[in-house]
Amino acid sequence: MSTYSKELEVAELAVQRATLLTKKVFHEKAKGTLSKDDKSPVTIGDFGAQALIIHAIKQNFPDDEVVGEEEASSLRDDHKLRDQIWALVESTRLADPSAEKIIGGPIPTVDAMLDAIDAGNSAGGSKGRIWALDPIDGTKGFLRGGQYAVCLALMVDGDVKVGVLGCPNLPVDDSAPLSADVGVDQTDSDGKGVLFSAVAGQGATSRPLGTAGLGQSQPIHMKPVKDISQATFCESVEAGHSSHGDQSAIASKLGITKQSVRMDSQAKYGSIARGAGDIYLRLPVSATYQEKIWDHAAGDLIVREAGGQVTDSLGRRLDFSKGRTLAENRGVVAAPAAVHGHVLEVVKEVLAKK
């Protein structure tokens, strides 16, 4: 067995099961949305997906820690919401019973579900095996009917070794160019749903995220950029998450005239890794915000394994060993390795002028 093959199998199946749950919620009008302390939204889908994935990790790798975005305190007081999540969690099974068994089968009780959610409380750090989990990345996109991703990565001694992104609303077809509306009015109907994966040193792949089971894996690669002025660049939908102004100044200095493609979540990393887009820019809006490791760990590895380079706006590799946040980084610049240096130069020029 190659290195991390068991971890990859568990991660892929756990993410697949979680997407079955998020898809159910996606089609419900009432998504059980709460507003967190930082005013960001969380839904029954976020909680349910976190429970299922942590359950799968703990059944297979009981000593591993998890840095998960959500925690269950609000559910311990709100039994109506708790029971809504439990009904979802209980009814979500993989079609293939042997695959379901690999990820630990059903969660036995409501309390076990709450405990699983709360087991995402690792402080992170530079030692040992720690998973980074974002049960729904792009919750605002999820609520809006745009892109979202279920994101899971394994870090060993602070280095990302395995990364998986489940993107139910992206086209299955790796060669489909990014349509301008990829970030809005999306569905998970036929032809949609892709799972991106990577293991350090073993390349990146994509496979159809079918309801009946996962489809065949195939290698993915970033597209060589012959003429940077023709590149497609991706950015957040939310102007509060990255500076649309700086990003557009950088694009125009690179000679890019095409509109950026805006979409929520780490679907941006997956999209450039398979060559549907070329560059992902995320330049800070606020001087104090620290990016969360679960928003980047899987995408960082998938892009690097597909032939890309990922740094912050100062050219430093993303450092996942500093705890729950990327405390030593500012922003993200992801591009094919051959053009990353050039893009970074322009990023520095534009930011220096501020």
Ligand X SMILES: Nc1ncnc2c1ncn2[C@@H]1O[C@H](COP(=O)(O)O)[C@@H](OP(=O)(O)O)[C@H]1O
* Continuous H helices in 92-214: 97-102, 110-118, 139-144
Q: Is 139 a catalytic residue?
A: yes
Compute the least distance from the CB of residue 238 to ligand X, in Å: 4
Q: Are 121 and 71 in contact (CB under 8 A)?
A: yes
Cβ proximity to ligand X, 58 vs 241, nearer residue: 241
Among candidate residues 130, 4, 159, the one with its CA nearest the CA of residue 68 = 130
Residue type, 338: A
Using rule CB under 6 A, residue 340 touches ligand X: no
Integer CA distances (angstroms), 146 to 2, 194, 232, 264, in order = 36, 15, 19, 7
69 is annotated as contributing to ligand binding: yes
Q: How many residues interact with Mg ion (rule CB under 5 A)? A: 6
The strand pairing partners of 192, in sequence order, are 171
Q: Which range binds ligand X by CB under 6 A, 131-139, 223-231, 253-261, 345-353?
A: 131-139
Q: Which of residues 256-295 bind Mg ion (CB under 5 A)?
A: 295
Calculate Rg over the CA atoms of the chain: 19
Would you say 264 is a known binding-site residue? no
- CA–CA separation, 318 vs 19, rounded Å? 27
Task: Out of 22, 139, 205, 311, pick the active-site residue.
Answer: 139
Give whichever of 21 and 199 is closer to ligand X, judged by the CB atom. 21
257 binds, among Mg ion, ligand X, none (CB under 5 to 8 A by kind): none
Chain residue whose CB lies nearest ligand X? 236
Question: Residue 110 or 184: which CB sits closer to ligand X?
Answer: 184
Is residue 308 a contact partner of residue 340, using CB atoms and an 8 Å limit? yes
* Calpha distance 348→5 (Å, rounded): 39
Give the nearer residue to ligand X in terms of CB position, either 238 or 319: 238
Q: Does 134 bind ligand X (CB under 6 A)?
A: yes
Q: Smallest distance, Å, CB 207 to ligand X?
A: 23
- Residue (of 259, 250, 226, 221) closest to 332 by Cα position: 250
Q: For residue 21, give the nearest of 85, 76, 115, 103 by alpha carbon.
A: 85
> Is 46 known to be catalytic?
yes
Q: What is the total count of residues that contact ligand X (CB under 6 A)?
A: 18
The piece of 121-129, 185-193, 214-222, 234-242 that touches ligand X (CB under 6 A) is 234-242
Mark 274-313 with x for binding to ligand X (rule: CB under 6 A) and - for no binding. -----------xx--x--x--x------------------
Distance of CA 332 to the CA centre of its chain: 14
246 near ligand X, judged by CB under 6 A:
no
Q: Of 22, 46, 64, 312, which residue is the catalytic one?
A: 46
What letters, b where the CB count within 10 A reaches 16 and e where it falls short, cover 28-61? eeebbebeeeeeeebbbbbbbbbbbbbbbbbbbb
233-235/279-282 β-pairing: parallel
Q: Please report, in range form, the residues annotated as the binding site for Mg(2+).
A: 69, 134, 136-137, 295
Catalytically active residues are 46, 139
Where does this chain bind ligand X (CB under 6 A)?
40, 69, 134, 137-139, 141, 236, 238, 240-241, 264-265, 285-286, 289, 292, 295
Where does this chain bind Mg ion (CB under 5 A)?
40, 69, 134, 136-137, 295
Q: Please report, in range form, the residues annotated as the binding site.
A: 69, 134, 136-137, 295
